[in-house]
Every structure is written in C-alpha cells, then in structure tokens.
Amino acid sequence: MQNLKRAFWGIFAVVVSLWLLAEPTVFQPTTFFGLREAMMQLTGVIAISCMSVAMILALRPRWPESWLGGLDKMYRLHKWLGITALLIAIIHWLWSEAPKWAVGLGWLEPRLREPRPVIEDPAQAFLVSLHGTAESWGEGAFYAIVVLIALALIQYFPYRLFYKTHRLLAVAYLVLVFHATVLIKFSYWSSPIGWLTAVLLACGTCAAVVVLLRRVGASRQVEGKIVSLHYYPGVRALETEIEVSQNWPGHKAGQFAFAMSDTSEGAHPYTIASGWHGENPRVTFITKELGDHTGRLREKLGVGQEVKVEGPYGCFTFDDDCPCQIWIGGGIGITPFIARMKHMALQKGAPDWPEAQAVDLFHTTADVDEEALAKLAADAKSACVSLHILVDARDGFLTGARIREAIPRWREASIWFCGPPRFGEALKRDFAAHGFPVKQRFHQELFALR
C-alpha cells in the first residue's frame, strides 16, 4: 500500500511541479480573471493526467505490478485516479462557469476584453480556430463522465451493465483528449509539462482504443474447457475446474485470473483455488453467489463449455522467510489458501518455502457446508497446516486477541489476509497497536475491482 500511495501522490507532485516551471509568475499579484485562466489550466492538466494514467492501468499492464503489489493494488490506484479526475474536473468546470454566474448576478465586474494579438504560428492559429468546438465537446464529455463514474461506484449497479457502460468512459476520454490538446496553453507544448502531457495523451489514446476494441489482455488469454462443476449449497459456492491449453504459463498459489464464459458480460476476476501441475494443465475457481453475475453462474455454466482464461495476476504469493505464517481467510477469501495448501501438498518432497516454516490457517465463516469444511481439513492435513475454523454463530468473531492467544510466536510471523476489506483493516489496526510491523509483514489482498 505504501508504493500505491507513493505512486498516487507522485503523479500529483510531478504534474504540479512541471506546471509551476511553466508558470513561474502564477503567485504574483494578478487580476481575478488572470488567476481563473491559470487555475483552469492547472486543473485541466491534472484531470487529464489522472484520467490518462487510469486509462493506461485499465490495460492491466504487467510492468508495474510487482512494484505496486499486484493487479488488485493497481485497480485500487485506477479507482483513486478516476475519482480524483472527476473531482478535479468538477473544480475545473466551476472555474469556467462560476465567474459567469457571478457576473450575471452582478457580484463580479465583467472582464474587459482586449484586442487579441495576431497569431502568426499556423499550428497555434489552427488550434485557436477549434476553441469553440473543443469547449462544447469537452462540456458534454464532462457531464458523461460524471454519470459514468457515479455508476461505476454504485456497488448495486449490475455488473453486466457496468461492463458495458464503463467502456463508454474510453469514448469520453478521447473527446477530452481533443479538448485538452486544443485548449492547453500553447506555450506549454515547448516545456516539460507539455512533453509529459503529450506522452500521457498518446499512451492514454492507445489504451482507449484497445479498450473499445475489447482487446484488453488479449495476449494473455488462453482457451479453456470446463471439465467439472461442483456446488456447495451450504455456502452457496460453485467450484469450477477448467482445462486450459498448453499456452497457459502456469500460476503461483494466491494469484488470480480473469475468466470469460459470455462475451456480452466480459471477463470476471476470480482467485485461483488450485496448485499448478504442468503435466495436467488445469485451474480451479470457487465462486460464491454474491451478485447478479455469480448468482447466475450455476445456471449458465456446463461441463464441456468453452471459456477464455486470462492471467495469472497478483502478488499475494506467500513469499517470505519468516519462521511462521498466519493465514486468515474470511468467507470466500479462503480460496488463495486452498491453492497454497494444494501446492504445498504437491511439493512436500521438495519444498520451495523454508522447511521449518509453521503455518496456521484461520477460516472464519458465517455459512457452513460440511462437505466443503471436510475438504478444507483434508487439504490442511496434506499440507501440514494447522487449521482453525470459526463459525460466527457458534464461535463468535475472529479478533486479533484470539489470534495472538492461539499463536504465541505471532511477533515472528507474517500475516496473510484475504476477506472483507473492513475486517482486514480492523485486524491490521489491532496488530499495529500491539507493535506488529504491519507495513512489512501484513499482506492483504484487495480483491475489489470496482
């Protein structure tokens, strides 16, 4: 999370610093309308920069994944940038419109228009001729973005509709690229802020085209076929085993992949719940009925059905040399730990983790399915993992104090958490209050891509 925050604030720092280099006199005394023009330029550059980086991250690039801590963290940055771009765009719009309202109400003297100097540069003259079009198109795109980002943030908005409407942001972004190119101060193009803006607009435009062509992650997709389906009614979860082609690069326990069984709904992310066997290339997903899409999977999927699988992604891979690990799986958050236990059972003869490393798995759940719990216990036994199962109604809620009481060596451990975000944050605060180095040794999967 630290690198995530560094990246977020770093984008701001770079953009604002380069803008100040281009506008060194911005803080000198000026007229209100002079300040308005400067603030519109600043807010416009920040908003389009945030949108451009968010658009690039929508391609699920591999190169920043390890530094940011996984695709789940990258999507969190994508979300932050989208919200920030919206807020800054609103401020940009207010700098444009509020003075007009104030003049109309008599609160502000109208601006005295000075004769415009003759523009000799043909490129600048061409851009000036497009100002009216860029302003009207940009305003329309702004209103569209307000609606589209609001829909993206509404968790109850059906995913199948979110998938379709969210792609429209790429269209609005392309309109804003035109808006920014025409209306950015012409002198910026010969300065570092202009060079940075040009690179971001070019990369963002390419990303938007890829999104509109539905080619995101296309190079990492492989064909697969469903070979088995098993439903656990007690926990309302469906286990889907998929045979993938030899082009699948393999995966580490704890990673996730996107699976697409219906092109109209697009690809959905699921944590992989199986180890990797190169001689028997299969991946298993366990999906809980939590929303409109997952609630219909049992009816829509069938053995023999072809699907596309894209990935793997994520850095929640249990890699450390701590003498003990504490795993916490809340509800369906148990899936990465199932994959890890299957991997450990397979590699027991030649472990790729410290041999003396002790592992304790805490699984807390509100729902109970005896068959699923029996399988979990069998996996734990095969992997030599100590299993602690807590059913909410029977055992109460899992707390940091209960974990510390059960694991005397908790100060030497690393903690790996996957489950409800609020639960994870509560545990993190609790352990931090007891001196545990959460920044270094508390690993949390942020598996919420909306």
For residue range 401-419, what is the model confidence (pLDDT) as tens digits?
999 999 999 999 999 999 9
- Percentage of the chain beyond pLDDT 90 is 69
pLDDT higher than threshold 90 for residue 364: yes
Query: Which residue from 374, 359, 370, 268 is spatially nearest to 322, judged by alpha carbons?
Result: 359
Our CA angle for 406, 408, 414, nearest 5°, is 90
For residue 247, the one-letter residue type is N
CATH of the domain at 371: 3.40.50.80
Our CA angle for 287, 397, 362, nearest 5°, is 60
pLDDT band at 157 (very low <50, low <70, confident <90, very high): confident
Locus of tokens 């109460």:
396
In this structure, what is the dihedral angle of CA atoms 444, 448, 449, 450, given to the nearest 10 degrees?
-140
β-partners of residue 260 are: 308
Query: Which residue from 218, 188, 214, 213 is spatially nearest to 201, judged by alpha carbons?
Result: 188
DSSP 8-class letter at 121:
-
Query: Which residue from 422, 409, 417, 418 is spatially nearest to 438, judged by alpha carbons?
Result: 417
Residue 159: strand, helix, or coil: helix
Number of Cβ within a 10 Å radius of residue 189: 17
CA 106/CA 214 separation, integer angstroms? 51
Domain assignment of residue 375, yes or no: yes
pLDDT higher than threshold 80 for residue 160: no
Phi, psi of 365 (to 5 degrees): -150, 145
Domain assignment of residue 318, yes or no: no
My answer on whether 233 and 290 are in the same domain is yes
Domain assignment of residue 450, yes or no: no
Domain endpoint, select from 246, 279, 313: 313
CA 165/CA 7 separation, integer angstroms? 27
Number of Cβ within a 10 Å radius of residue 218: 11
Range of the domain at 227: 218-313
CA 242/CA 260 separation, integer angstroms? 12
Q: What pLDDT was estimated at residue 3?
A: 86
CATH of the domain at 105: 1.20.120
pLDDT higher than threshold 60 for residue 50: yes
My answer on whether 298 and 280 are in the same domain is yes
My answer on whether 37 and 133 are in the same domain is yes
Ramachandran assignment for 167, one of left (phi > 0), alpha (psi -120 to 50 degrees), beta (any other): alpha
Question: What pLDDT, in 10s, does the model give residues 336-362?
Answer: 999 999 999 988 888 889 988 999 999
CA 139/CA 64 separation, integer angstroms? 33
My answer on whether 36 and 89 are in the same domain is yes
Half-sphere exposure of 406 (CA within 13 A, CB side): 20
pLDDT band at 447 (very low <50, low <70, confident <90, very high): low
Query: Which residue from 360, 369, 354 is spatially nearest to 341, judged by alpha carbons?
Result: 360
CATH of the domain at 307: 2.40.30.10
Domain assignment of residue 428, yes or no: yes
My answer on whether 371 and 308 are in the same domain is no
Our CA angle for 422, 424, 428, nearest 5°, is 115
Domain assignment of residue 319, yes or no: no
Mean pLDDT across the chain, nearest whole number?
Answer: 91
Q: What pLDDT was estimated at residue 29?
A: 65
Domain endpoint, select from 188, 212, 236: 212
Domain endpoint, select from 254, 287, 313: 313
Buried b or exposed e, range 11-26, using 16+ CB within 10 angstroms: beeebeebbeebbeee
My answer on whether 49 and 138 are in the same domain is yes
My answer on whether 368 and 407 are in the same domain is yes
Number of Cβ within a 10 Å radius of residue 437: 11
Q: What pLDDT was estimated at residue 450?
A: 58
My answer on whether 169 and 86 are in the same domain is yes
Residue 421 Cα to chain centre, angstroms? 14
Model pTM score? 0.89
Q: Where are the alpha helices (DSSP H) in 23-130?
A: 32-57, 65-68, 71-104, 122-129
Give the total number of structural domains in the chain: 3
My answer on whether 32 and 7 are in the same domain is yes
Domain assignment of residue 187, yes or no: yes
My answer on whether 77 and 190 are in the same domain is yes
My answer on whether 190 and 43 are in the same domain is yes
My answer on whether 134 and 171 are in the same domain is yes
pLDDT higher than threshold 80 for residue 293: no
CA 416/CA 318 separation, integer angstroms? 7
Domain assignment of residue 449, yes or no: no
Answer yes or no: are the C-beta atoms of 67 and 216 closer than 8 Å.
no
Question: What pLDDT, in 10s, does the model give residues 82-128?
Answer: 999 999 999 999 999 998 898 888 888 887 776 777 788 889 889 98
Locus of tokens 């969210």:
166
DSSP 8-class letter at 409:
T
Q: What pLDDT was estimated at residue 449?
A: 56
Question: What pLDDT, in 10s, does the model give residues 14-28?
Answer: 999 999 999 988 877
Cis peptide before 312 (omega within 30 of 0): yes
Q: What pLDDT was estimated at residue 30?
A: 75
Which residues make Cβ contacts (< 8 Å) with residue 445, sequence separation at least 6?
A: 70, 72, 254, 271, 314, 316, 333, 336, 417, 418
Mean pLDDT, to the nearest integer, of 373-381?
Answer: 96
